[in-house]
Structure 1
Amino acid sequence: MSKITRQGSNPVLSTSVEYHNFVFLAGITADDLSRDITGQTQEVLAKIDQALENNGTDKTRLLSAQVWVKDIRDRDALNKVWVSWLGEAGRPVRACVEANMADPRHLVEIMITACR
């Protein structure tokens, strides 16, 4: 039976799960909720970089991304940060939708699947 590795587990979820060299990250949000969409996106992507590194991979190995924004009109500002962050790395499949957030101060949440 293949091993499943979980990190950052609590009673509700794990922040990451690795199985068969696939890495699944939970939805990641910013901690500094005073920031605008650009600042929150930058923080979320930095946290994604760290989570991927903790799982032995990086953004060049992204497979898919699910992005939720509080206001879809913020999509262009989010995309500017996203494109800069990706650089020349391979582009994952991605969805970006407007959603009610658990905390209305959250402006963006991103969930990633990558491989090692």
Structure 2
Amino acid sequence: MSKITRQGSNQILSTSVEYHNFVYLAGITADDLSKDITGQTEEVIAKIDAALENNGTDKTRLLTAQIWLKHITDRDTMNKVWVKWLGDDGRPARACVQAEMADPRHLVEIMITACR
């Protein structure tokens, strides 16, 4: 039987799950909810980088991204941060939608699947 590795687990979820060299990240949000969409996106991306590194991979190995925005009108601003972060490598298949957030102060949530 193949091993499943979980990190950052609590009663509800794991921050990441790795199986057969695929890494699945939970939806990641900012901790500092006083930040605007740029600041929250930068914080989320830094947390994604750290989670990917903890699983032995990086942003050049992204497969999919799901992005939820509180306000779809923030898409262009969020994309400026996103494009700068991605660079020329690792562009995943992606969805970006407006959603009601669990905490109304959250402006963005990003969920990633990558490979090792």
TM-score normalised over the length of structure 1: 0.99
Please name the residue that 1:34 is paired with.
Answer: 34
Please name the residue that 1:97 is paired with.
Answer: 97
Q: CA deviation at 1:20?
A: 0.1
Aligned partner letter, 1:102: A
Aligned partner letter, 1:54: N
| Counterparts of 2:42 and 2:112, CA distance in 1 | 15
Aligned partner letter, 1:2: S
RMSD: 0.4
Query: How many residue pairs end up in the alignment?
Result: 116
| Counterparts of 1:55 and 1:90, CA distance in 2 | 16
Q: What secondary structure is seen at the aligned counterpart in 2 of 1:91?
A: coil
Residue deviations 1:73-116, cap 9 Å, x none? 00000000000000111210000000000000000000000000
Q: Which moved further from structure 2: 88-97 or 18-27?
A: 88-97
Q: Among all aligned residue pairs of Structure 1 and Structure 2, give the percentage whose two residues are the same amino acid.
A: 83
4+ aligned runs moved over 2 Å, structure 1: none
Structure 2, unaligned runs of 5 or more: none
TM-score normalised over the length of structure 2: 0.99
Please name the residue that 2:82 is paired with.
Answer: 82
Structure 1, unaligned runs of 5 or more: none
Please name the residue that 1:5 is paired with.
Answer: 5
Q: How is 1:54-69 mapped onto 2 (pairs within 5 angstroms)?
A: 54-69=54-69
| Counterparts of 1:32 and 1:89, CA distance in 2 | 28
